[in-house]
């Protein structure tokens, strides 16, 4: 049987947020190459005998380089295996899925993309923050925090500050200071609401809300680190009213009587 590569989005963390099609691919895979932020619960759906290959990456440390992952996908598929590349969120949203698809095409390996729920939408929703709202936000942008120090991307800050209602930043905590300063210097009000959502959609989710001028201090005080989503815009004001998930978690924590 001919091999094939499935680029599957695992969703943002909550294992129940994977798609039905993504789950079916997992159950049928001969080989699963999975990332660090993929919930381990999903690997339980692998069939007996399936080969599991960890491809996790940490900031400044790659367990497996992207070029090696690309070669593995092609190698296993050429052997006739059904290969799942299981990626956190969505494969084509800062997941390097496009590069992996290009590699398959280069070597005449058939592939299929199974979209996943991306953290920019899911973590925001679990924090009670809709990225669009009829009166507060008619546009949103997904950006990577890695562009914060990229000179070639400098021109984008003016467009983001003045032309987009809601900005969702992936992998941006380490560049928080640069992001806030760039937006303010390009015209965004220092009073603009901003939220940091750590471990979005998981039971240890935490949300810290402030403004562009206060969030750095608040993040340091709360010891917010990756993985976290940054959401910027007036819709963040809805967090206090619509924060359904974290309130639900608190209700499930047993009260210890003194």
* Cβ–Cβ under 8 Å, residues 192 and 161: no
For 60-68, the CB contacts below 8 A with 24+ separation are 63/36, 66/96, 66/99
Q: In angstroms, how far is CA 149 from the centroid of its own chain?
A: 20
Question: In the chain, where do the E strands start and end?
Answer: 4-9, 31-34, 51-54, 57-58, 61-62, 82-87, 111-114, 140-144, 166-170, 193-198, 206-211, 228-232
Strand partners, 140: 166
Angle at the Cα of 80 from the Cα atoms of 56 and 99, rounded to 5 degrees: 40
Q: Are strands 193-198 and 31-34 parallel, antiparallel or unpaired?
A: unpaired
Say how far apart CA 167 and CA 13 lie, in whole Å.
21
Which sequence positions are flagged as catalytic? 35, 57, 171
């Amino acid at each position: 049987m001919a091999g094939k590569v499935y680029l599957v989005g695992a969703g943002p963390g909550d294992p129940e947020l994977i798609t039905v099609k993504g789950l079916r691919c997992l159950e049928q895979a001969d080989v699963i190459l999975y990332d660090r932020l993929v919930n381990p619960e999903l690997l339980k759906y692998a069939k007996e005998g399936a080969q599991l290959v960890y491809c996790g990456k940490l900031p400044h440390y790659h367990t497996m380089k992207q070029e090696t992952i690309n070669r593995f996908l092609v190698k296993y598929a050429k052997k006739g295996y059904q290969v799942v590349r299981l990626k956190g969120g969505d494969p084509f949203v800062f997941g390097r899925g496009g590069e992996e698809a290009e590699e398959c095409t280069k070597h005449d390996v058939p592939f299929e993309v199974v979209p996943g729920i991306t953290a920019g939408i899911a973590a925001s929703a679990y924090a009670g923050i809709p990225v669009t709202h009829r009166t507060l936000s008619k546009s949103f942008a997904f950006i990577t925090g890695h562009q914060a120090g990229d000179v070639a991307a400098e021109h984008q800050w003016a467009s983001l500050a003045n032309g987009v209602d809601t900005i969702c930043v992936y992998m941006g905590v380490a560049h928080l200071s640069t992001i806030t300063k760039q937006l303010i210097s390009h015209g965004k009000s220092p009073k603009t609401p901003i939220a940091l959502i750590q471990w979005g959609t998981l039971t240890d989710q935490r949300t810290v809300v402030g403004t562009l001028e206060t969030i750095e201090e608040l993040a340091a005080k709360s010891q917010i680190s990756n993985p976290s989503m940054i959401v910027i815009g007036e819709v963040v004001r809805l967090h206090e009213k619509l924060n359904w998930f974290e309130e639900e978690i608190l209700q499930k924590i047993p009260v210890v009587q003194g």
